[in-house]
Each structure stands twice: as structure tokens, then as C-alpha cells.
Amino acid sequence: MSKTLNRFQKDAEAKVFDEKHRRTIRFNMGKYEQAVQKGLQQYKDHELARSRAAYIKQEAIAQLDKLLLQFEENISKRGARVLWADTARTALQYIAEIFERQQAKEVVKSKSMATEEIGLNEFLEARQVQVYETDLGEFIVQLAGQKPYHIVTPAMHMSKEDISRLFSEKLHIEPTDDAQKLTHVARRLLREKYVSADVGITGANFIIADIGAIAITENEGNARLSLTFPKVHIAIVGLEKVLPRLEDLSLFLPLLATSGTGQHLTVYNSVITGPRQSKESDGPEEMYVILLDNGRTELLADPAKRQALHCIRCGACLNACPVYKNIGGHTYGSTYSGPIGSVISPYLMGMKEYKHLSYASSLCGACSSVCPVKIEIHDLLLLNRKTAVEKKLVPFTERLAFKLWKKAMLNRRLIDMWGANIKNTILRKAFKDSWGRYHSPIRVAPRSFKQLWQERIANAKKTKV
């Protein structure tokens, strides 16, 4: 058993039996579900919107190479520089070079899963750079020394009381259960950092090819401040985030907001086409866009799984998933948790170590039913399992067990050789440390279907006689 799988199983078991954790998540998820149901009322035909979004993403991914080059050409005309990073290490090297040229020692950063993916905070802190997360949820988990729990709401696992205790311990304030006061504490601390920071780092929700721009949607305005005040703006974005046209945002921004938080539209929506121009009063002097591959082109090369790149990171599949609701986001041990994370993480972080995530699913299809771009997530999870088997990444004992099972199922005489007691003993021992730990033993029927059928025929003959 790999260390990653072993840690996953231990963490999952701990979270499933953590009543406080389940109570907090149930409460927060309940609020989300109510908000989404209310938000969906803005759509006359939500299914039509989903179908159109799915078509546009399919169009974009099908011509990804052309659209990315179009984006680079257009945004470069306005002074931005596009850097292509095939791996996380390459992206970090680019960032190190920028920081060395600027002699930067302080950075403000808005919420970005791509930066989490490459381990940016740890990289910069190791180089004595002070990193300030400016999104409230990210600020909270950074203060707690944790990773984001959820794609959209990083501190979903923490209650108001948890945050009050954290702020009291780390920021030395009086404990309070007033959420507004807690927000003001973080705001006061971060305001001065926007002005003093040397570099601002953001992600991007979308890349707009036809005008050469990145689009950022948020609720707090912190991303806009992070890219406006510092002299240098670095945007780190997965290359799959591309949209062909600016007008596509009119469909995707409301879909993302409704699926993510239940809003009709998020509060701040920015379209950035480059650094500050000669006649503009604010904005960075330099802008860099790092297009991150890091395993995405491997997914692109597989036609059966390519649709995973359609994901717009709304988090809807996490909120619908019964497994996620029980084991939580940190258990997955990867940047992207939940159903979509289980699909893409083996490609971003290695199939050998993260193949088990594709088995952490009930395959109920709830994730696929809520996806705003209609990704068939449950099918992709099955395909990942198939890939793991084809690459012989599953344990030898598992492969042997299924080989014997197949042989037995194809040979009726072999199955009937053993009685029910022998079969039950084998099943009990085989599943002792997995299913058997928390479930009643698996038992086969005393008589097989063949035996029951033969008895029925025999009794029918006796009746006729």
C-alpha cells in the first residue's frame, strides 16, 4: 500500500467519525444548497445554458493550440508577457526570475488554485518572501497553517467559533462571535499590504482569446486590489481556461456564480488586457501571464477523458458528492478535491500515487448532474480506474483476486465445487480489513441459483407424476 493511499484511508476514517466536522459541513452545505436553488430561478432554461456552455468549452478545447496562440499575440501587443510552463517547476523558475529582477520581498496574492497546485507559497517563503493571502477564506487557512478545504470556499470546514479562536490566538484580538467584526480585523490588516507589496499574484477564471485578456470574478475585490497597486502583476492560469470570445463571458460568469455560490453574478468582475497603458492612471507597470500545463496536455491527448478540461472550478460537484460531504476536502491530499479532483489529480500529480482517488466515489452521478458544463464526471472516474488496471498500477494481490474471480465466474462447475460455508470463510478473510471493519460479513446464499433451478425442475417433474 502506498503512503498516499494509507494516509487517505486514515484521514477518511478520522473525518467520518468526527461529529463536529460533519456538523459544520452539514450546516455550511445546507446554506449553499438553499442559495443555489434560489439562484437557479434566474434561468428560464438552465439545461439549455448548460448545453451551450458545454458546447463552447468543447469548441475551445478542440482548438486549444490556436486559441492560446491567439491570446498570446493579442495580449502581447499591449505589453504583457506570456510564459509557457510545462511543469510546476518551470512555473516556479519563471516566478523566481521575476522576483530576483524586482528584488521583491513582499507579495499580495488573491485566491488561486493554480498557485496551490505548484506550491507557490512554500516556494516563496523558502526564499524569504512574505506572502499575504488576501481572500478572507485563504487568509484564514493560511493563518491556521492549513491548505484550502474547498475549491471555492477554502475555510468551509471552520465554524465562526473556530475562526474567532484562531484570530484571538494569532492576531491577539478579543474573542467575538460577530462575523462582521472578524472580517474587519482581516481587512484592516490587509489594506496596508496592498500598497507596500512589490508583486501582486492572481489566478484567472478565464482566458479570452479574441481580445487577449484574462477574466477574474470574485466577491471581495481583493484580486482587483492585488493586481492594481503593486508594480508587477503575475497571473498563473491553467491553459484549459481559454474561451474563444469575450461575449462568452455573458454565459459563463452567471453560470459560475450560480453553481459556485448561488449568486446571479459575483460582485467584482474584471477583464485585464495588459499592464498599465500610457494614458491609464492605475495598474501594474509589468504583467506576466504564466500558462500552466503540468499534466493537462496528457489529458488533452486522451479523447475519452478530454472533457475533464472543460471544468470551470465552480465546486458544484464537491457540494453534491456524498463522499466529499463525509470525508471533507483535506482528506484527498491533493490541490483539487471532490469528484473532479479525483479525475484530474492523477494526471497532475501522478497516476501511480493518486489512482485511489478515482475509487473514492459512489458513482451515483450526482456530480455529473450538477456540473454547469455537463462533464460526465462519474464516467471519467470509471475510465481512470480502467487506466490504473491497464497500466498494472493496482496491487498484485488485487489483480490475482480478480483473475481467480473471472475464472470462477466463467466456470459453473468450479463455483459449485465449494459449499456456502467455504465461500463465506474466504470472503470474510479477504475483506476482513476493508469492508469487514465496519460492516456485517458478506454472505453468499446457502444454495446457488443453479441448485435452486434444478430443485424447481425436479419438484415440477414430481408434481406431474
Structural domain containing residue 4: 1-42+309-394
In a domain, 54, yes or no: no
Same-domain status, 76 and 220: yes
Same-domain status, 102 and 240: yes
In a domain, 304, yes or no: no
Of 268, 294, 320, which closes a domain? 294
Return phi, psi of residue 107, to 5°: -135, 140
Quote the pLDDT of residue 423.
Answer: 83
Instruction: Name the residue with cell 504564466.
Output: 290
Same-domain status, 379 and 246: no
Q: What angle do CA 287, 283, 132 make, to 5 degrees?
A: 75
Quote the pLDDT of residue 465.
Answer: 62
Same-domain status, 421 and 324: no
In a domain, 169, yes or no: yes
In a domain, 266, yes or no: yes
Same-domain status, 230 and 262: yes
Same-domain status, 365 and 446: no
**Considering its fold, how many domains does the chain have in total?**
3
Of 394, 410, 431, which closes a domain? 394
Same-domain status, 356 and 422: no
CA pair distance 243, 62, nearest whole angstrom: 11
Return phi, psi of residue 125, to 5°: -65, -35
In a domain, 428, yes or no: yes
In a domain, 53, yes or no: no
CATH number at residue 18: 1.10.1060
- Residues of the chain under the 50 pLDDT cut: none
Same-domain status, 231 and 362: no
CATH number at residue 222: 3.40.50.10420
Residues linked to residue 368 through DSSP beta bridges, in sequence order: none
In a domain, 132, yes or no: yes
Burial of 176 (0-12, 13-18, 19+ CB in 10 A): middle
Same-domain status, 213 and 93: yes
Same-domain status, 330 and 219: no
Of 294, 323, 351, which closes a domain? 294
Same-domain status, 110 and 25: no
In a domain, 99, yes or no: yes
Sheet architecture: strand order including 268-272: 242-243, 206-208, 213-218, 268-272
Same-domain status, 235 and 117: yes
CA pair distance 39, 29, nearest whole angstrom: 15
Quote the pLDDT of residue 296.
Answer: 97
